[in-house]
Amino acid sequence: MLSTHPQPSHSARVDVIVIDDEDSIREGCRQTLEREGYCALVATDGVEGLDLVKHARPRVVLLDLRMPGISGVEVLEKLPGIDPRIIPIIITGYGTIDSAVQTMKLGAFDFLTKPFDMDQLLAVVDRGLRKYEALGSETAVAKPPPVKAPKPSEPDILLKGLETLGQYYSLGLRDQTLAAELRALEAEAQYHSKVLGQIREKEKAIADLVADLRLVDEIIERHGFRKSALIQILLDIQSAKNWLPRHTLLWVWRRLNIPLALIYQIAQFYEAFSLEPQGRHIVQVCTGTACHVQKAPEFLATVSALLGIKEGQTDSRLLFTLKTAHCFGCCALAPVMRIDETYHRNQSLKQLKAIFSSYASEQASHKESEQVRS
């Protein structure tokens, strides 16, 4: 085992500093690390920790996020200022995954979720030290902090490039060379901005996914983790998401240990469930008997023509999904349709158009407010 570790330094060099206010974890980590031959120091809060880092210059810092005084995030932000090569590893409690993801953006190398066992700790520290070594061997000189500058946007990079060009120019390089450099820099900047965009998208997708799974957890908990509540759980997911995304079904499977095939069987059997994304608003035209004899098919044709979609379809803006339903129990008012939770009778074309456009404009204003916020 030991031989596979990066060599623990036998000099005065400090390998790891553990910053955590919880005695048991702090001391546990220290003892384990020392047993494995690392040089480990400890600090009980952020201020003390930063002080210690300044003096001891460790290679890896284990950092708790929740501490009295200055928080783990603040410590994390200050670390590159002391030594950009330090590898920060976050210790986090259950249920603060979100903040962990945030710290990764701030340059944390990895994170440990409490409770963790000592093998996990050693594995992470081991990887951290390897990373440190790798960084050291790449460049002898201290590199600027890896990715960590906050949002290197396209103009930033270009400006930086121009600055560099200015330096070249002062050296008396020829115009052609300059142009080539400029093109190369521009291409590089564009490449980075594209990658950055992709990373942002991925991050958002992951955040959405985590939010979905947490929602499923809440719903399952509300139903007391009972397997028999499966249909009720799926109904709640459906009403929250408007459809049943695959990852939520997988999560139900993992949480309740119900065979995935059974979950899919139920999801496909009942009318209420949809395995495909649906529009923000569900338009359901009742085709019960009472509505049928009162010209529901004709009403459906009208609605279908107005929305430009057929039964079962969703429009391209993901605004409306058109469905039929077997009776809402509003038979005396036939024919009826339901948009989300609101019922509407058949009306003149102008009124119907007004109803639909009210939903559409609601959507537009929603978008606007979102843009303003961002």
Partner 1 sequence: MTRLSTPAALAELRQQLAAARSAKRQSVAICSSTGCTLNKSNVCSQAIAAELAEKGLEGEVELRRTGCYGFCERGPVVFIQPQNVCYLGVQAKDAAEVVEKTLRKGQVVERLLFKDESGRRYKTLGEIPFYKDQKRVLLQSSALIDPKRIDDYIAIGGYSALAKALFELGPEKVVDWIKRADLRGRGGGGFPAGVKWETTRNAPGDVKYVIVNGDEGDPGAYMDRSLLERNPHSILEGLIIGGYAIGARQGFVYVRQEYPLAVEYMRLALEQAREYGLLGTDILGSGFDFDVAIHRGAGAFVSGESSALMSAIEGRVGQPRPKYIRTSVSGIWEKPSNLNNVETWANVPLIINNGVDWFRSMGTEGSKGTKVFSLVGKVRNTGLVEVPMGITLREMIFNIGGGVLHGRKFKAVQTGGPSGGFLPESHLDLKVDFDELTRAGSMMGSGGMVVMDEDNCMVDAARFYVNFLAHESCGQCVPCREGLRQMLHILDNMVSGKGEEGDIELLEELCEFLEIASLCALGSSAANPVISAIKHFRHEFEAHIRFKQCPALSCPELLHYFIEPDRCPGCQLCRKECPTEAVLGKPKAVHVIDQSKCIKCGNCLRVCPEKFLAVIKVPGAAVGQAASAA
**List of residues contacting partner 1 (CB under 8 A):** 226-232, 234-235, 258, 262, 265-266, 269-273, 287-295, 297-299, 301-302, 304-306, 325-334, 336, 341, 343-345, 348-350
- Given the complex with partner 1, which of 16 and 233 has the nearer CB atom? 233
109 or 299: CB nearest partner 1: 299
Query: Within the chain, how many helices (H) and strands (E) appear?
Result: 13, 9
**Distance between CA 108 and CA 309 in Å, rounded?**
49
Closer residue to partner 1 in complex, CB, 235/318? 235
**C-alpha to C-alpha distances, 334 to 307, 329, 348, nearest whole angstrom:** 21, 10, 15
Beta partners for residue 323, in sequence order: 284
How near is the Cβ of 288 to partner 1 at its closest, in Å?
A: 3
Q: Minimum CB separation from partner 1 for residue 300, in Å?
A: 9
Q: Kindly give the interhelix angle for 246-256 and 175-222, rounded to the nearest 10 degrees.
A: 50
- Nearer to partner 1 by C-beta: 215 or 301? 301
Residue 14 φ then ψ, to 5°: -90, 130
Which residues neighbour 194 within 8 Å (Cβ) at sequence distance 6 or greater? none
- Find the shortest distance in angstroms from Cβ 217 to partner 1: 18
* Least spacing, CB of residue 314 vs partner 1, in Å: 19
Which of residues 17 and 334 has its CB atom nearest to partner 1 in the complex?
A: 334
DSSP conformation letters of 196-257: HHHHHHHHHHHHHHHHHHHHHHHHHHHTTT-GGGHHHHHHHHHHHHSS--HHHHHHHHHHH-
How far apart (Å, rounded) are the C-alpha atoms in residues 323 and 310?
9
Cβ 68 vs Cβ 79: under 8 Å: no
Residue nearer to partner 1 on the CB measure, 183 or 226 = 226
Q: Which two tokens stand for residue 210?
A: 């985590």
Closest distance to partner 1 from the beta carbon of 151 (Å)? 45
Q: How far is the CB of 85 from partner 1 (least distance, A)?
A: 55
